[in-house]
Structure 1
Amino acid sequence: MSSKILKIGQISDMHIGEDESLVQGIDVRANFMKAVDSKSMQDLDLLVLSGDLANEDAEPGAYRYFADFIKKSSVPVCVIPGNHDRIEVMEKYLDLKGKVQNGKCFYRYDLCGKSIFFLDSACGDVSMEQLEWLKSEAAKVKGEIILFMHHPPCFCGHRFMDLRYHLRNMVEVQETLAGIENLTHIYTGHYHAQFEVSMGRQIVHVAPSTQMQIDPNMPYFNLQSAAPGWQVIKWGENFVETEVYFE
């Protein structure tokens, strides 16, 4: 395991539209760039875009926007799809070579002696193929790993999202994750709100959205804020620290 402290930025639920038009009255491209350009995101070793890159239905213009952004990025960028993305459209614009199997985008990314895993929950669940792969691959790593996926693998206390848009096979996913001894920190998005939830010995860090925040206290959709939010992870030899930021 490397002694280097990795700094990883996580941006989730950007909901970029086909063009520069406002999305639900919000300049989502400006919000995304506020996160990217913030002082907290300087000197990253990796940037993770954890799903819902596109606004509603995999708009090609969204993926063209991110392809151009990634091409200009000075740091590596890892991407997974969310429920508003379609992998067959993403593949036309983004380099996902070796990361897609049987229509699902899941992979391991090694950086500075540390291993980062990515799962695909875009359809609302995580396939058994992915869960078996994760168990097998995680067992090959001696040190701690971290995991990114779009949907939280647990309920979070968000009345609207927990009720309508939770991960469907939560029990199976939790059973698999609980059996991975070198996994403590799980990073997700999807809920358009920030949460940190204990799931046994594991901690689920739910990133806010750069599009907007949804009020977690209401059982129906209620816009809480149009300000963007994001997470920054610092991962050292014996620690993982996570900070959440809002514009």
Structure 2
Amino acid sequence: MADYFDKALIFTDLHITPAGETIIGLDPLARFKQGLAHALDRHPDAQHIILLGDLTHTGSPAEYARLAPALADCPIPITVTMGNHDLRDHLRVPFPQAFNTDGFAQTALDLGPLRLLILDTHDYEGRAPLIHDGWICDTRLAWLDAELARAVTDAKHVVVFAHHPPCPVGFWAMDAIGLANADALLSRLHAAPHVRHLICGHIHRTIHASAANPAGGALPVSVLKSPCHQIPMILGEGTSSDSVDEPGAYGILLALKDTIVLHTEDFALSDGSVRTYE
């Protein structure tokens, strides 16, 4: 049995609003601060924190300006990428380190035996059919190709992160605004046997799926909840703005010698209190 594991914490879909504004009566910044404090208290040994897109609700400078101070004193390195509610130029002001030399919020990190590849799925060119769809352009796909090859050279197993899931999850309105060029991503991941898992956000629900490989087998896919508001469990019909006050959560990724484990931790209860343990 392993006596040590490497650990990363994952928050997605923060949806920070301007001061005084709420989402279904919830203050997203207050909920995120609760979640971050909960995570840091219980997991001070984590090596990374990943913010997996939709940091803000509309991408305004005021929203990013509210978020940045909440992260300023965090003792764990933070990696940020984009979601459909973010705006590239505005995010760059408080988080210039998030962007690579190509101008995208894509990063490769090591977590023990794992290589974590964080993708930028923001459709900055308007290539996708719908406004909240995700899209990965040729430049970003070329970066992914190079990093997948480098991970082979470095003998690393790979976990990929993308805000938009590349497979349907059963919420029709959300499936309609997924990753529009999903095949371009999945064809690469299916061709890379060292890719072990794909972690996404966007849906505001804890979901486990598999993206089938036409050549056989499937890639495990996990979707994580928001620390703030969730999508109600109304499968099929609905809208992408349906929201419900259910417990907020964050993800905990463990890298063991031969196993990848993803936990999800509910920290905020529906009455606004924070979950505690004896």
- Structure 2-normalised TM-score? 0.80
Paired amino acid for 1:182: H
> 5+ unaligned residues in a row in structure 2: which ranges?
124-133, 213-217, 269-278
Partner in structure 1 of residue 128 of structure 2: none
Per-residue deviation, 1:224: 3.5
Which of 207, 226, 234 does residue 195 from structure 1 map onto? 207
Write the mapping of 1:81-230 to structure 2, written as runs, cut at 5 A. 81-96=82-97, 99=100, 101=102, 103-112=103-112, 114-123=114-123, 124-141=134-151, 142-162=155-175, 164-200=176-212, 201-216=218-233, 217-221=235-239, 222-230=242-250
- 1:215-246 CA deviation, whole Å, 9 max, x = no partner? 24252233333431221111122111111122
The residue aligned with 1:54 is: 56
Which residue pairs with 1:68 in the alignment?
A: 69
Structure 1: gaps of 5 or more residues: none
Q: Which has the larger radius of gyration?
A: 2
Which one-letter code corresponds to 2:150 in the other structure?
A: K
Task: Count how many residue pairs are aligned between Structure 1 and Structure 2.
Answer: 242
The equivalences for 1:24-35 within 5 A come to 24-35=24-35
Percent sequence identity is: 22
Q: Displacement of 1:100 after TM fit?
A: 5.1
SS in structure 1 of the partner of residue 183 of structure 2: helix
The answer on whether the counterparts of 2:10 and 2:250 sit within 8 Å (CA) in structure 1 is yes
Q: Which amino acid aligns with 1:220?
A: G
1:187-236 C-alpha deviation (Å, 9 max, x unpaired)? 11001111111124321110111221112425223333343122111112
| Pair 1:20–1:116, CA change in 2 (3 A) | farther
User: What secondary structure, in the 3-state scheme, does the structure 2 residue paired with 1:234 have?
Assistant: strand
Distance 1:81 1:28, change over 3 A: same
CA distance in structure 2 between the partners assigned to 1:190 and 1:61 by the alignment: 22
CA gap 1:106/1:148 in 2 versus in 1, 3 angstroms:
same
| 1:86-127 Cα deviation digits (max 9, x unpaired) | 1111111113265251x4322212355642111111112111
Give the residue type in structure 1 aligned to 2:192: I
CA contact (8 A) 1:81 1:122 kept: yes
CA contact (8 A) 1:107 1:117 kept: yes
- CA change 1:32–1:180 in 2 (3 A) is same
Q: Structure 2 CA distance, aligned partners of 1:186 and 1:235?
A: 14
Aligned residue for 1:72, secondary structure, equals coil
Distance in 2 (alpha carbons) for counterparts of 1:205 and 1:94: 26
TM-score, with structure 1 as normaliser: 0.89
Distance 1:207 1:130 in 2: 23
- Give the aligned residue type for 1:52: D
User: 1:18 touches 1:60 (CA, 8 Å); kept in 2?
Assistant: no
Paired letter, 2:194: N
Partner of 1:80: 81
